[in-house]
């Protein structure tokens, strides 16, 4: 029983490290300047959704990472709920808001997965998927192309991280740049 407790605690620490790295990536100023994501609650949600999504894509490559991927999603949902409470959404409205935000996240996952899976012109398909979602500005073609290029680069860096490193909670050094 004590060993089971230690394992759960160690897993929470690993999830916390990985999630903190994803949040740190979300705080990059260029996302909200050059890449066109709005520096608002919604924009930050979009930026975090993008990074969580790209991490989940990496986890799909290796079945050993599946439980960890679910833990990251759970942490993401919990973090979003805490955030909406902090900005003053009342307790009675939280479940409705969470259903909406969770639906938005999974809609993004489906749209970005479809675009990233398009081998013909992945940046163009992804840029199109980003417009009206992560890029709210009218037009936004340049920003969406730059954000698509950024996402492809992050996806490649995530793919290069060995599963063993991820299982130990390490993303920082592997994606620094």
Per-10-residue mean pLDDT of the chain, 177 residues long, equals 47 93 95 93 94 96 92 93 79 80 93 81 86 83 93 94 94 58
The sign of the torsion formed by the CA atoms of 117, 58, 135, 79 equals positive
pLDDT at 3: 43
pLDDT at 10: 61
- Give Rg (Cα) of the chain: 17
pLDDT at 88: 79
Q: Read off the pTM.
A: 0.88
Residue with tokens 């894509």: 57
Q: Which residues of 40-63 are buried (b: 16+ CB within 10 A; e: fewer)?
A: eeebbbbbbbbbbbbbbbbbeeee
pLDDT at 57: 95
pLDDT at 123: 83
């Amino acid at each position: 029983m004590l060993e089971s407790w230690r394992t759960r605690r160690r897993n929470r620490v690993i999830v916390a490290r990985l999630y903190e790295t994803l949040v740190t990536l979300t705080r990059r100023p260029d996302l909200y300047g050059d890449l066109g994501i709005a520096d608002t609650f919604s924009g930050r949600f979009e930026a975090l959704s993008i990074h969580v999504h790209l991490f989940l894509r990496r986890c799909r490559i290796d079945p050993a990472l599946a439980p960890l991927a679910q833990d990251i999603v759970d942490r993401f949902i919990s973090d979003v709920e805490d955030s909406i409470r902090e900005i003053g959404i009342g307790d009675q409205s939280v479940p409705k808001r969470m259903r909406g935000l969770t639906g938005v996240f999974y809609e993004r996952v489906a749209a970005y997965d479809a675009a990233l899976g398009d081998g013909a012109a992945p940046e163009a398909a992804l840029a199109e998927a980003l417009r009206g979602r992560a890029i709210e500005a009218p037009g936004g073609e340049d920003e969406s192309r730059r954000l698509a290029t950024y996402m492809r680069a992050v996806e490649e860096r995530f793919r290069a991280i060995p599963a063993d490193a991820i299982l130990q909670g390490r993303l920082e050094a592997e994606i620094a740049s």
